[in-house]
Amino acid sequence: MTRPLLIAGAILALLLAAPARAADDVAEARAHFEQGSKLYRAGKYRDAIAEFEAAYRLKPHGAIQYNVAQCREKLEQWPEALKSFQDYLREVPDARDRAAVRATMGRIERRLAAAGVQALMVYTDPPGAALRIDGKPRGRTPYHVALAPGVYRVSLALSGFEPEEQEVEVNMAGTRLVDVVLRPRAAAAPVAVAPAAKATTPPVTTSIASTTSTTTTTLTPPLAPPSAPSDLRARPPGPTALVTAPAAPVAPPGRRRVYTWVAAGVAVAAGVAGVAYGVAASRQAAKLRDGTVHADAASLASEARSKATTANVLYGVSGVAAAAGVTLFFVEGKF
């Protein structure tokens, strides 16, 4: 399938919306993108890929992945084209051309099947996991490869996360997608060391709390350092904490600022929602200004105005809630 590149104006509008501190990156990304578009039109697809990828590194956007996929399709790099199309759909989940892209991917998958192989794509969250297939190192995620039909052992490892391993079947039906959310490695529990006993201190009988049972033992109470204040309170005992003396009485906590936090939560939620609607309205407005004739221009304009109005209302709610939170902070009792 031969389809035009995504309109440069849409990408450039997103790039120009970046903060002022990233102005240099925006300018450089725009230059790479425009150069990539020129090279694509000139049929220099490999050079165009390099320019598009340079623009993506500076200002990532899924639409650039679509353009890279177009170039790889022209070069008949079928597994690589599938990977770029898949990345486009992952990064732009509301893409209007999703069905057409899926159809293109289906045609590429049939080409691979005719050659006796099929694509395997492995993604992890977070990315960058070391990948082994049947014990052989292959690289880091995200990763793609064309394999003959069969069952493969896929192993993943990333520092700070639990290793993962699973058997994956590749067949001629289509791309085999493996998407794994890595689990953080559990931190080792700290080991409590009892202070050394002094021979002159009489033993005190106390209990050791446990999650499964309670036993009685004889311990020597630790001595507080000379500089310790006289009103030190014992730390709350955990499952294996040692309680050697009654804790000093603790005054009941003051009233918490419950309504302050409620107001703060409303302010943050309304502000975030307002930003989301504002960005959506800006994107639709940008579509109307990109020089393309839209059959649904009236609908787009109406929807953009509606989202802009909603954003303004949400900004107002956020401001009122923030002011209420500040007032409540001083009115409610102390923590």
The pLDDT profile of the chain, 335 residues, written as one tens digit per residue, is: 456 666 444 454 455 444 554 678 888 999 999 999 999 999 999 999 999 999 999 999 999 999 999 999 999 999 999 999 999 999 999 999 999 999 999 999 999 999 999 999 999 999 999 999 999 999 999 999 999 999 999 999 999 999 999 999 999 999 999 999 999 998 766 666 555 555 444 443 333 333 333 333 333 333 333 333 333 333 333 333 333 333 333 334 444 566 666 777 777 887 778 788 778 777 767 766 665 655 565 666 677 788 778 878 877 877 876 777 667 666 655 44
CB 164 within 8 A of CB 184: no
Residue 240: closest CA among 214, 258, 275, 269: 214
CB–CB of 277/315 below 8 Å?
no
Distance from C-alpha of 222 to C-alpha of 245, rounded to nearest angstrom: 10
- Residues 122, 108 within the same domain: no
Q: CA-CA distance, 43 to 48, in Å (whole number)? A: 9
Domain end marker among 132, 152, 185? 185
Examine residue 227 and state whether it is found in any structural domain, yes or no.
Answer: no
What CATH number does the domain containing 123 carry?
A: 2.60.40.1120
Domain range spanning residue 181?
A: 116-185
Structure confidence at residue 280 (pLDDT)? 77
Which residue, of 185, 210, 236, is where some domain finishes? 185
- Verify that 120 and 108 share a domain, yes or no: no
CATH number at residue 23: 1.25.40.10
Residues with Cβ within 8 Å of residue 280, at least 6 apart in sequence: 307
User: What pLDDT is recorded for position 224?
Assistant: 34
In a domain? residue 193: no
Cα–Cα distance measured from residue 63 to residue 72, given in angstroms and rounded to the nearest whole number: 15
**Which among 297, 280, 270 is positioned nearest to 14, based on CA atoms?**
280
**3-state DSSP call for residue 167?**
strand
Q: How far apart are CA 108 and CA 283, in angstroms?
A: 31
- Domain assignment of residue 241, yes or no: no
In a domain, 250, yes or no: no
CA 305 from chain center: how many Å? 30
38 and 107 co-located in one domain: yes
Using the 3D structure, point to which of 80, 112, 144 is the last residue of a domain: 112
Residue 121 and residue 107 share a domain: no
Q: Based on the structure, what is the number of domains in the chain? A: 3
> Does a structural domain hold residue 134?
yes
Domain shared by 148 and 69, yes or no? no
Residue found by looking up tokens 């005190």 in the block: 204
Report the run of H or E that residue 170 belongs to, with start and end: strand 164-170
Does 126 share its domain with 43? no
Q: Is residue 165 part of a domain?
A: yes
pLDDT at 331: 62
Instruction: Examine residue 271 and state whether it is found in any structural domain, yes or no.
Output: yes
Answer yes or no: do 100 and 139 share one domain: no
| Residues 108, 25 share a domain | yes
Asked if residue 247 is part of any domain, the answer here is no
